[in-house]
Amino acid sequence: MKRVAVTGATGRIGTHLVEALKARGDEVTVLTRNPERAAKLLGVEAVQWDPTSDGAPAEALAGRDAVVHLAGEDVAQRWSDAAKAEILSSREKGTRNLVTGIFAAEPRPAVLVGASASGYYGPRGEELVDESSPPGRDWLADVCVRWEQQTDAAALGMRVVKIRTGIVLDAEGGALAKMLGPFKAGVGGPIGSGRQYMPWIHLEDLVGLYLAAIDHHDFSGAINGSSPNPVTNKAFAKALGGVLHRPALAPVPAFVIKGMFGAMSQIVLTGVRMVPGRAGELGYEFRHADLDEALRDTLAG
C-alpha cells in the first residue's frame, strides 16, 4: 500500500486516478479548495488548500510515497487577458506553493508527479516530436515551460516526473465529448485543413502512466502522455465517424473556429505529432494503442 496525496482530484483525470489508487488499496489524501465536496465525491480524506493563495499544508504531504499535482485552470476557454493570467498563475504559482509545502514536510514525499501538456512543444506540423525535442515559442508553450520549471524545483531531494498530456479520450469531458454531438448528428468532420496532428491517449493509459510514474523509480523527468500512434485531425474524424456509424465529411472552416474561440483556436487548428519515446523505453505497454479500438472502448460505456 502506498500513501498518495493528489491535487486537482475532482477533475476528469483526477477522479479516475483516485479511483484507480483506491482500487489497488492505496491510501489517498486530496488537497482541494472544497474538502467537504471532494470527500463526498471521492470517498477519501480531503484537506483544505487553495493553490494560488499559500503554501500547501505540509502535514498533508509529510511521509507520502507520492504527490500527484493535477490542479490548474482549464486551458480550453476563450483566452481573455484575465483567463490567460489565471491559466498561468494556477500552474506557475500553484505549483510553487505546492513545492513550498513539500519542502516543509518532514519526512518529504518520495516522488512528485506533475501534469504538463503537449502544448509544451508548440505547433510542429509533421515533425515527429519526443521528449528530447525543444519547447515551442508560443504563449501556451511558455506557460508549460514555466509550469515545469516550478515542478523541477522539487528535484532537490526527490524524484520528479512531468507528464506532458495530449488529447485524452473521455466520453464525459474534454475534446472528444465536445465532438460527439455534431458527429452523432451526422454533421461532424475535419477541422480547418484536417492536416494537423492530434496526440491522443486513452484515459485508462494516462492513468496507467501516472501509476507507473508513482511506482517505478526509473520514471523521471519528462514523459509524453500520448499514444504511440498520433493521427491527423482528418484521420481522427474518419475514425470517430466510423465508430459512430456516421458520415464524417462536413469540414469546419478555420474562420468558424477562430470566431468561436479566438486565440485559443490555435490548439484546435495547429497540432503536434507527439510520441511517447520515454514511456516505450521504460517498458510501459499501452493497452489502447490503436485509435479505432480506443474509441470503441471509450464510447462503449
Query: Is the preceding omega at residue 107 within 30 degrees of 0, hence cis?
Result: yes
| Average pLDDT, integer, range 276-282 | 96
What SS3 state is found at 103?
helix
Residue 120 lies in a domain: yes
| pLDDT computed for residue 178 by the predictor | 86
pLDDT digits (tens, 9 = 90+) for 99-144: 999 999 999 999 999 999 999 999 999 999 999 999 999 999 999 9
Domain range for 156 is 3-167+200-226+274-287
Residue 43 lies in a domain: yes
pLDDT digits (tens, 9 = 90+) for 179-235: 899 899 998 899 999 999 999 999 999 999 999 999 999 999 999 999 999 999 999
How many residues are there in the chain? Answer: 301
Residue 239 lies in a domain: no
Please say if the pLDDT value at position 76 is more than 90. Answer: no
Could you tell me the CATH number of the domain that includes residue 65? 3.40.50.720
| Euclidean distance between CA atoms 192 and 268, whole angstroms | 9
Residue 32 lies in a domain: yes
Residue 253: Cβ-neighbour burial (10 angstroms; 0-12, 13-18, 19+): exposed
Please say if the pLDDT value at position 256 is more than 80. Answer: no
Domains identified in the chain, total number = 1
Higher pLDDT, 270 or 203: 203
| pLDDT computed for residue 29 by the predictor | 98
Please say if the pLDDT value at position 280 is more than 70. Answer: yes
| Euclidean distance between CA atoms 78 and 86, whole angstroms | 12
Cβ atoms of residues 93 and 199 within 8 Å: no
Q: How confident is the model at residue 301 (pLDDT cuts 50, 70, 90)?
A: low
| Euclidean distance between CA atoms 76 and 74, whole angstroms | 6
Residue 23 lies in a domain: yes
Q: Identify residue 101 by its one-letter amino acid code.
A: G
Residue 280 lies in a domain: yes
| pLDDT computed for residue 249 by the predictor | 84
| pLDDT computed for residue 283 by the predictor | 95
* pLDDT above 90 coverage of the chain, percent: 84
| Euclidean distance between CA atoms 294 and 200, whole angstroms | 10
pLDDT digits (tens, 9 = 90+) for 2-40: 999 999 999 999 999 999 999 999 999 999 999 999 999
Bridge partner list, 7: 31, 69
Residue 18 lies in a domain: yes
Residue 174 lies in a domain: no
Mean pLDDT (the chain, rounded):
94
> Could you tell me the sign of the dihedral formed by the alpha carbons of 278, 218, 28, 155, in that order?
negative
